[in-house]
Amino acid sequence: MTPDKAEDEGNEDVEMVEIFVMGKRYRVPKGLTIMTALEYAGYKFTRGCGCRGGFCGACSTVFRTEDEYKLKMDLACQTAVEDGMFLVQLPFMPAVRAMYDIEEVEPEEHDNILLDHYPEIARCVSCNTCTKACPQDIEVMDYVQAALRGDVERCADLSFDCIQCGLCSIRCPADIKHYHMAQMARRITGRYIHEHSDELEKRVQEIKNGEYDETMKEMVEMEIDKLKKTYEERDIREEG
**pLDDT truncated to tens, each residue of the chain (240 aa)?**
444 443 445 456 789 999 999 889 999 999 999 999 999 999 888 776 777 776 787 888 888 888 888 888 888 888 999 999 999 877 666 778 899 999 999 998 889 999 999 999 999 999 999 999 898 899 999 999 999 999 999 999 999 999 888 889 988 999 999 999 999 999 999 999 998 888 888 999 999 999 999 999 999 999 988 988 888 888 876 655
Contacts of 105-110 with CB under 8 Å at 24 or more apart are 105/184, 105/188, 106/188, 106/192, 107/150, 107/152, 107/188, 107/192, 107/193, 108/192
The conformation of residue 36, written as its DSSP 8-state character, comes to H
- What domains appear along the chain, each with residue ranges and CATH number? 2-89 (3.10.20.740), 102-193 (no CATH)
pLDDT at 2: 44
What is the reported pTM? 0.70
Report pLDDT for 209: 96
- The confidence score (pLDDT) of residue 70 equals 82
* Residue pair 193/105 in contact by the 8 Å Cβ criterion: no
- Secondary structure (H, E, C), 75-122: ECCCCECCCCEEEEECCCCCCCCCCCCHHHCCHHHCCCHHHHHCHHHH
Distance CA 57, CA 105 (A): 27
pLDDT at 151: 97
Q: Where on the phi/psi map is residue 104: left (φ > 0), alpha (ψ -120 to 50), or beta?
A: alpha
124 within 8 A of 114, measured Cβ to Cβ: no
Task: Identify the pLDDT of residue 54.
Answer: 67
Q: What is the pLDDT of residue 43?
A: 87
* 144 close to 116: Cβ distance less than 8 angstroms: no
